[in-house]
Amino acid sequence: MLKGKSIRALGTMSGTSLDGVDAAVVVTDGITIEAFGESSYRPYSAAERDTLRTALGQWHDGDVAQAAEVVETAHAQLLSKFDAADLIGFHGQTLAHDPSGRGTHQAGDGCILAEVLQTPVVWDFRSADVRFGGEGAPLAPFFHFALAKWIKARAPLCFLNLGGVGNLTWVDPSFDAPETPGALLAFDTGPANAPLNDLMRARRGQDYDENGALAATAFANGPIISRFLQHSYFYKMPPKSLDRDAFSTLQNDVATHSDAEAAATLTAAIAFSVSEGLKHCPQAPSEILITGGGRHNDTLMKMLDALLPCAVKPVEDYDLNGDMLEAQAFAFLAVRVANGLPTSCPATTGVRAAVSGGTLSKPG
């Protein structure tokens, strides 16, 4: 790849909510965004979700091979529908994340996709960051920095992604590069959609609480929220990251409560964890732009608006696509990897120095 030349990059994301694969095109040189291209979504079938769910928490044995095959097949089917791209950014499916122990594991082999699609693929984005002492997550902040420039932000702001896990990026757009000290701070805030979706699936056979309708019919359980906020994670200084099931005790806490109260409590846990996270920001943000599936939950958005000290807006207010932002991020990051540019830094993952993660696999 030629530095300074914008190319057509196609990025993917298969998140911890296990709903399906997002894919989106970004035209970029890895520094600035020139244009956004087409996007698409391929849902996992119920059987595919079951295969992936069975493999959660596993590393290289057991059900991992079957999960990888599901991930590779779904991605190949979706990406083959796009017009030719110069480069693909393939995140894979996170099955286990333990940066202080065994590392991080995303199922799916980029070499296979490069051969099937006959296009260079950047993949395994997180391992290098973990090897150099980082959390391996979140990785979207460098893209968030470029987005802040794209929307011509003038004051510090936050991007809040509400996927399976919540993660926050504080951006000061006055800086010239994302790796410059002071430009970024990023970390996982706490659980987001994963516990709530799991509850809805177990109790009602539904994938999620549509529009937060169930949670809106009850009040959150105060004592459970108080205990939740005593978790040691909230006292840990960022950068920091979470595994999808790091707060699995929440499910036990709401086990004896009605469906509605349980949903309201898990929804409130998301909002309160974000409120706690904002205390770590170097400066109060001028606004918080929400991306990910959580922004479709009206009850959650109202809770955030009530709790947080600044304007809370879906990213669509700036003509961005909140369903595709993470896929776009890995298109952007793929170009950075191909050009030898860093994809994380001490302020985003705690890595010892700015590092370019990812492996580039070419056809043949």
Euclidean distance between the first and final Cα of the chain, in Å? 18
Q: Find, among 351, 349, 326, 348, the residue nearest to 89 by Cα.
A: 326
190 and 133 co-located in one domain: no
Q: What's the burial of 61, exposed, middle or buried (CB within 10 Å: 0-12/13-18/19+)?
A: exposed
Q: What is the pLDDT of residue 119?
A: 98
Q: Above 70 in pLDDT, residue 215? A: yes
108 and 213 co-located in one domain: no
On whether residue 273 sits in a domain, the answer given is yes
Band (2; pLDDT cuts 50, 70, 90): low
Q: What is the arithmetic mean of pLDDT over 194-213?
A: 95
Q: How many domains does the chain have?
A: 2
Band (203; pLDDT cuts 50, 70, 90): very high
Band (244; pLDDT cuts 50, 70, 90): confident
On whether residue 262 sits in a domain, the answer given is yes
Q: What is the pTM of this model?
A: 0.93
Q: Above 90 in pLDDT, residue 1? A: no
Provide the residue range defining the domain that includes 91. 7-137+330-337+348-361
14 and 131 co-located in one domain: yes
On whether residue 197 sits in a domain, the answer given is yes
On whether residue 147 sits in a domain, the answer given is no
Mean pLDDT of the chain, nearest integer: 95
Q: Find, among 327, 194, 350, the residue nearest to 266 by Cα.
A: 194
208 and 294 co-located in one domain: yes
The contacts of residue 314 (CB under 8 Å, 6+ apart) are 289, 290, 291, 295, 301, 322
202 and 81 co-located in one domain: no
Strands (E), 157-302: 157-162, 165-171, 184-191, 287-291
Q: Above 80 in pLDDT, residue 189? A: yes
On whether residue 265 sits in a domain, the answer given is yes
On whether residue 223 sits in a domain, the answer given is yes
Q: Could you identify the residue written with the tokens 């006959």? A: 118
Q: What is the pLDDT of residues 22-61, one digit of tens each?
A: 999 999 999 999 999 999 999 999 999 999 999 998 988 7
Q: Could you identify the residue written with the tokens 């499916």? A: 93
195 and 293 co-located in one domain: yes
Q: Find, among 12, 123, 142, the residue nearest to 358 by Cα.
A: 123
In CATH, what number is assigned to the domain containing residue 267?
3.30.420.40
Q: What is the pLDDT of residues 281-315, one digit of tens each?
A: 999 999 999 999 999 999 999 999 999 999 999 99
Band (179; pLDDT cuts 50, 70, 90): very high
Q: What is the pLDDT of residues 111-150, one digit of tens each?
A: 999 999 999 999 999 999 999 999 998 999 999 999 999 9
Q: What is the pLDDT of residue 192?
A: 94
124 and 195 co-located in one domain: no
On whether residue 205 sits in a domain, the answer given is yes
Q: Where are the alpha helices (DSSP H) in 59-156?
A: 64-79, 110-117, 127-131, 141-150
158 and 53 co-located in one domain: no
